[in-house]
Structures are given as structure tokens and as C-alpha cells.
Chains A and B, each alone.
Chain A
């Protein structure tokens, strides 16, 4: 075998790179666990059913912004007939009072950085 040392070193590097996810969590000493959300007490429904909120809340918020800011259309009727003001800081954070324990848990877990907070001021965690 010609250049056996170089080729074997290359193969080892290749295997290490491909298996990065396997040794990463051990090397970083991180605990791998799905995020647990703190849900608001006493409320059972959000403005859409939970499954839909999970999947499409980003699109809903984007649509809310356009409707409220550009068209002044600030009230929506929820799927169970309530009237809700289209407002991130008032309606969403009104129930989900702690951004750190609700929004951020999943967003951090899957490394999503929404740009809501470029403009909106996040309320201090824990204040109700």
C-alpha cells in the first residue's frame, strides 16, 4: 500500500467526522433530553388546536403582524369562539408568561432563532 499512513489517517478523520453526533454529546457532557414546557395553568386551549399551534405558530404570528400592523385588524376569533387581540406581548405572553420556560425551551432545543425579539421587548422571566 502506497502512502498507507496518510490514507489511514484520512480514513480515521473521515470516520470521526461522520460519527461526530455520536461522540459530541459525550464530549460536551450534555444531558440529552427533550424540552419540557411550562404551560399556563387553568387554560386548556390556545387560539388554535395544540397540534396546529405546534406546527404553524410562526406563520400565525407572521400573519398577525401583517394584519395588526399593516391593516389595523387587531381582533381574531379563535377556533372555540373567543375574541383575542392580535398581540404577541399581550395575548401570547399574557398566558405564557415566561418566555424562557415556554418559547425558548423548544427554540433552543432545535436551534431556531426567531426574530420576534429584534423589536419586541421580552418581559422579564417569572413576572406574571
Chain B
């Protein structure tokens, strides 16, 4: 049911864009006004969210670790599992952001036929997530050919690697297939795994359907209902050089694609997709496990008058000396 709600939302959005693209007066809205609005909402929303997170108090250092922390010299420590310095945190975060290391440890809990509870590694979600995110990144970078003039050589190299097999004309791009397969897997996982379905909200499906819609229209434009690429680049360059133009003869499907992308951008800061920025601010990951070496002051602490050992020694200095007790200061 919740999946159905999300599907209806995406279908209505696509249908509305299709209808609007047929009306000449609506094209400037779809092609110029909405993309600008969406980008403004995206940038302002992301900055606001990150600043909001950054302003929250940090009462404790709650690094989650799964390895030996820095300790006695003869104990072999694991800097990536239990980082102590800033650079070790950077290494750990890089593995997390680029390779989803914590998801790699994902386990599946299941009752065996004999009703024993069994935990087993589940790498499929990790593989699906990695396939989706990386192909999405490659696709975004490939799109730079429509936004940059001159086109940097790296974009061309990326596309030629992506189209390595030189299958079909226009060249079949691997990431197109991978992203659709990965999205369908992530969707199937929510639909057919009863426990995952139970915790899935309409918003979870909405992101998947929206991304499928964007990938679908993009692929359709490349292979089936072709649009005039030169006009598309004119439009894209007009947007980014702040001199918007609306060339004639761009197919309706392009406007559907652009509209769904605008929706994604505008929806981004308000949805779970904001984990793009949030992953950098995960408190259990981005703090060094140095509680024993550096004191972390809880900002919520009530101010308590303390009398440190140094002050105490200072206060009773003469009496301690008179008793012949050893002093720290000397």
C-alpha cells in the first residue's frame, strides 16, 4: 500500500510533466523556473540541515569501535577500527563514505527450519547499495558534458570506460544497466522481504520510484525517443551561465526527465536522501576514540565547583612538606 502511494505520486508527477511539456506556455516553467527553484531549495536546504546538525550539542564522545584502541605499546592497535588521531578518523570516514564499510558488516537474522535463531552475513544489500551509489555518481559526472564548456577530458574518458563494450548505437553504457538493476533490487528487497516491508515507509519507496523514473526517462531519451542533444546542451549551458534560453525542438520526454530531477533536488534536503551530507556528521563515526587521552567536556554539565589535586596540593603545600609527603610539583 505504501509502495503504491509512492508509485502514484511519481506517476502523477510524470503525467503532469508530460501534459505540461505539451503546452508551449509551460515550457519555460519546466525548463527554467523549476530547475532554478529546485537548485535554490537544494543548496539552501542542505546548508541549513548541516548547520543545524553542527549546532547540536555533543554531550559524549560516542565513537563506535570494533577493534583494539590505542593502548599499551605491545598491544597491536587497529587505527581504522578504533581511530585515535584526526587522520585515522579521515581514513575511517573515507572507507565508510566510499565503500560503505559498516554496511559490509550487515547481518541477516533468521529462524532456521528447526526454529533456531541464526545470524549470517548479508553482503547483498551492501553490493546493491554500492552498485547504485557508484553508478549514480558516474552518471552525474557523465552529465557534466552537458553543463561544462569546454568539456574536460576526464568526462570523455569516463564515458569511454563506461561504454567499454561498444555495444549498440548509441554506445550502451554499463552504468545505465547497473543503476536500474540496483534500484530494482533495492525495491524488490523492500517489497518481498516481509520484515523490511514492515519497516518501509512511503518515503522509502518514493525515493526509489523517483530515481527509477529519472533513470528510465534518461535511458529512453538516449536509446528510443531521441532528443536534439545540441539544443539540450544549449538549455543546460544557458541555465548554468545564468543566461537561460529555451531552444525549440527539445522533445517532451526531456522535460519530464528535467522535471523529475528538479523534484529530486527540491525534495532532497527534506528526505532521507539528505544522508549524503549526514554521513559526514555521523557522531559514532567521525569522532576519534581518544576519551582516555583527552577530556571531552559535556556542554550540559551543571557548573560544579571542583577542587583539583593541584589546587589541593597548593593549599596544603606547607603542611605536606612538613609531614615529608612527596609532592607532584617537585
Contact = CB atoms under 8 A, between A and B. Distances in A.
A94 interface: no
A128 interface: no
Contact of A32 (B170, B237, B247): B237
Contact of B166 (A10, A21, A25, A115): A115
Query: Chain B at the A interface: mostly helix, strand, loop or mixed?
Result: helix
A11 interface: yes
Contacts of B227: 55
A54 B148 contact: no
A110 B228 contact: no
Chain B: interface size category: 35 or more
A25 B46 contact: no
Contact of A110 (B169, B229, B249): B229
Nearest to B243: A32
Contacts of A7: 50-51, 54, 281
A1 to B, nearest CB: 5
Contacts, number: 85
A111 B241 contact: no
Interface string B208-239: 00000000000000000011111011101100
B240 interface: yes
Query: Chain A at the B interface: mostly helix, strand, loop or mixed?
Result: helix
A20 B233 CA distance: 16
A61 B151 CA distance: 25
Contacts of B151: 111
Interface in A5-33: 7, 10-11, 14-15, 18, 20-22, 24-25, 28, 30, 32
A21 B55 contact: no
A21 B240 contact: yes
A24 B148 contact: yes
A2 interface: yes
Interface in A92-115: 106, 109-113, 115
Given A11-B50, A22-B242, A32 B230 contact: no
B32 interface: no
Contacts of A75: none
Nearest to A3: B54
Interface string B11-38: 0000000000000000000000000000
Contacts of A112: 229
A41 interface: no
Given A1-B54, A111-B145, A58 B240 contact: no
A62 B33 CA distance: 39
Contact of B149 (A3, A32, A58): A32
Interface in A59-102: 59, 61-62
Nearest to B53: A7
25 contacts: A1-B55, A7-B50, A10-B50, A14-B46, A18-B43, A20-B148, A21-B147, A22-B240, A24-B148, A25-B240, A25-B241, A28-B149, A32-B149, A35-B230, A54-B228, A56-B226, A58-B169, A58-B170, A59-B169, A61-B169, A106-B229, A109-B149, A110-B233, A111-B156, A115-B166
Leading 3 A-B pairs by shortest Cβ distance: A21-B240, A21-B147, A111-B145
Given A18-B43, A21-B240, A111-B145, 18 more contacts: A2-B54, A2-B58, A7-B50, A7-B51, A7-B281, A10-B50, A21-B147, A22-B240, A24-B240, A25-B237, A28-B150, A30-B150, A34-B230, A106-B229, A110-B233, A112-B229, A113-B156, A115-B166
